[in-house]
A and B are shown apart, each in its own frame.
Chain A
Amino acid sequence: MSKSKHKTNDVETFSEKEPELKGTLIAVFGLGAFIVISWIIVYVLFVSR
């Protein structure tokens, strides 16, 4: 019992230390989307020619 409580505390402490990076996640996804969309535009041009 005490062991599992200790474990939970550890997890909580770890979570508190993790920096919040939601903006980074969205920004990196946005970057990926930009790459994919640009690539597809040129791919369509390649296929259409």
Chain B
Amino acid sequence: MTMINNTSINKDDSSLVMAHMWVAFVSLFVGGLMGLLQTLVRSGTLTLPFGIGYYQILTVHGVILALVLTTFFIIGFQFSLMSKTVGMSNKQRDSAWFGFWIMLFGTVTTAVTILLGKASVLYTFYAPLKAYPTFYIGLALVVVGSWIGCFTNFRQLYVWKKKHKGEKSPLLAFMVVINMLLWFIATLGVAATVLIQFIPWSLGMVDTINVLVSRTLFWYFGHPLVYFWLLPAYMAWYAIIPKIIGGKIFSDSLARLSFVLFLMFSIPVGFHHQLTEPGIDPVWKFIQVVLTFMVIIPSLLTAFSMFATFEITGRKKGYTGLFGWIKGLPWKDVRFFAPMVGMIAFIPAGTGGIINASNQMNQVVHNTIWVTGHFHLTVGTTVILTFFGISYWLIPALTGRKLTAKINTLGLIQTIVWAFGMSIMSGSMHIAGLLGAPRRSSYSTYGGTEQASEWIGYQIGQAIGGSILFIGIILMVYIFINMVFLAPKGHEEFPLAEVSDDAEPTPMFLENWKLWIGITVALILFAYTIPFIDIIQHSPPGSPGFDMLIR
């Protein structure tokens, strides 16, 4: 193992993680710029030049931020955690690089197809909108590359367990493996629809596509995708933030239990994205709504655990009173402040999610821009601010540099700019959505209808918020460049928290992988088998493709 002076992990592993970070931050800039253009077009303040289409930039925005940035950041961050906790052999690192190059090749293939205007199908690529085959082939390669990452992580823990018989696995390694299990099981759905339905259809090998099957397989993947984004943020909240605030992990068992529950309950719930969709038995929609609500349990376990960590740490520092411990938190440390703002944003974000999933009540918000406002709070604030919070120590730790006081202050400003811009943008989206404004649509006065005139003020609000957010993106990209090239050389801590002395010992059954995977598979089979057979048996005729439907 080659070590250099300043990095917190093995030099070779640092290069691997940094390669992922580069793709993530380039994606942040490109995707963010597209987001800014969208809000300006949608508010009627800008017309795109050179024949560039609104749906083209919307597709770039969604694919680059929701799929590329997140996947690369998460896989890179998780490799750093695995390297730190269970180690990485040369063979494992080689396979990780192989996965990285396949994902990157897939990303470039898909991005070029979209930029050439051949795939303006948005990131959900709903049939019967048809893209050029390379869009789907590129996406499939991203998934295949990520699977190599999955199996590398599984192997890493397996090898560690063999060397440490009878010991519980390190908490963060356990969490990474749960998240990658979730990802692998979930992406089987999107891989199936892309390989079996979309690619043959877009190549012209078949004339029609079964739309409902494709959407069902997409959302079988689409909802756990949200948790694939969220769980790395939870890793930081549970096992890294306590160290940054000078405390300890409240409970190792509770953290593991919540991750196990996320694995079980975040997959068999895709129908809550299809509540208004004809062709699915309402009974099965209701069953999946109930399963969706089960996800609230680990979310609230997490909220409780975080509050408890903060309170115990604050009180140990001598702060008293019912809420005096809040003053004991390091508000001026951006490594804490950015994720903390993300956590606060998760309160309205999670609440919005419960409203979305509330069966008939979904009709109030379905396909409105409320939903866009919702996921800009979840992934666009909670997750991304936590990722930024991770970057403030991870990037310098990887590059052998220091997080300087100046960058710390700039990071605090960046977080405030982000929170302010997002409050305006997402707030406008939520309200306009309740007033009926649709999502996914370009600027339109809808023939001068009175209802549409109510939306325009909020659309301008979105443009103002979006512009502020873009300033936040420029700041973050500068901070990234600073931490890679300009910051002084030094040692930056890789903060891994210890478990509290008061915590009960972790029961070994929490590592009974066969049990948890078995329950997960059983729940998926229960929730999907009968309705899926029903969907296939009673399908209407398949649809031909429409590749010029939206411009």
Residues of A within 8 A of B (CB): 17-24, 26-28, 31-32, 34-35, 38-39, 42-43, 45-46, 49
Residues on A with beta carbons closer than 8 Å to the beta carbon of B312: 19, 21
Residues on A with beta carbons closer than 8 Å to the beta carbon of B311: 19-21, 23-24
* Among B142-150, B259-267, B301-309, the stretch in contact with A: B301-309
* Interface: B355 (CB within 8 A): yes
Can you list 27 contacts pairing A with B, beta carbon distance less than 8 Å? A18-B502, A19-B311, A19-B315, A19-B502, A21-B308, A21-B311, A23-B322, A24-B311, A27-B307, A28-B300, A28-B307, A31-B347, A32-B300, A34-B347, A35-B351, A38-B351, A38-B352, A38-B355, A39-B351, A42-B355, A42-B361, A42-B364, A42-B365, A43-B358, A46-B360, A46-B361, A46-B364
Interface of A is mostly: helix
Q: Judge whether A39 and B308 touch: CB under 8 Å.
A: no
Q: Mark B406-427, 1 if CB is under 8 A from A, else 0.
A: 0000000000000000000000
Residues on A with beta carbons closer than 8 Å to the beta carbon of B351: 34-35, 38-39
* Interface: B350 (CB within 8 A): yes
Residues on A with beta carbons closer than 8 Å to the beta carbon of B361: 42-43, 46
Residues on B with beta carbons closer than 8 Å to the beta carbon of A28: 300, 303-304, 307
* Interface: B323 (CB within 8 A): yes
Q: Judge whether B364 and A23 touch: CB under 8 Å.
A: no
Closest to B353 in A: A35
Interface of B is mostly: helix
User: How many A-B residue contacts, CB cutoff 8 Å?
Assistant: 65
Residues on A with beta carbons closer than 8 Å to the beta carbon of B365: 42
A17 to B354, CA, bound (A): 36
**Given A19-B308, A32-B300, A46-B364, list of 5 further CB < 8 A pairs?**
A17-B502, A19-B312, A39-B351, A42-B434, A45-B364
Q: Judge whether B354 and A22 touch: CB under 8 Å.
A: no
**B354 vs chain A, min Cβ distance (A):** 6
